[in-house]
Amino acid sequence: MEQRASDILGFAPSALWITLGVLVAVGIIVKLVFDLIIKARELRRPRVHDEQTIQDRLQTDNARLTALESTTKKQDEELKLILRSQMAMIHHMIDGNNSVKLREAQDDIEEYLISGKIRNREV
């Protein structure tokens, strides 16, 4: 009265192992997909320390921009001084007059070279 396992179970034991293997593989794949989704959501969400890093970088960038603005302003003043002195030289070369403007341009350049300050004179 010995019965085979396939007769008792209604199917072959190898089919049971194949079915269990497929279920385990599907479970592993589902877990991997969920893990990827969770990691993707974490990457999209800013962290608290990331916000602090962002604030620090914004402050650093703001300081650099402020320094660049002051440097640009100084370069603009230097350019005006150069153009003012060139204009005085051109006027003097054309008509031989305007030696007063040429003297003022010379004084402005000497003042800038000595003290680093530019007099605010209109062109």
Task: Tell me: do 84 and 122 sit in the same domain.
Answer: yes
Helix (H, G, I), strand (E, B) or coil at 69: helix
Query: Virtual CA dihedral for 84, 89, 91, 95, nearest 10 degrees?
Result: 170
Q: What gap in Å lies between CA 106 and CA 98, rounded to an integer?
A: 13
Q: What gap in Å lies between CA 83 and CA 101, rounded to an integer?
A: 12
Tens digits of per-residue pLDDT, 49-58? 777 888 899 9
- Domain membership flag for residue 110: yes
Domain that holds residue 107: 70-123
Task: Tell me the whole-structure pTM to 2 decimals.
Answer: 0.45
- Domain membership flag for residue 88: yes
Q: Which residue has the tokens 């959501």?
A: 41
Mark residue 20 as left, alpha or beta (left: phi above 0; alpha: psi -120 to 50; beta: remaining).
Answer: alpha
Q: Say how many domains are in the chain.
A: 2
Tens digits of per-residue pLDDT, 62-112? 999 999 999 999 888 888 888 888 888 887 788 877 777 778 888 888 888
Comparing C-alpha atoms, which of 45, 40, 44, 120 is closest to residue 78? Answer: 120
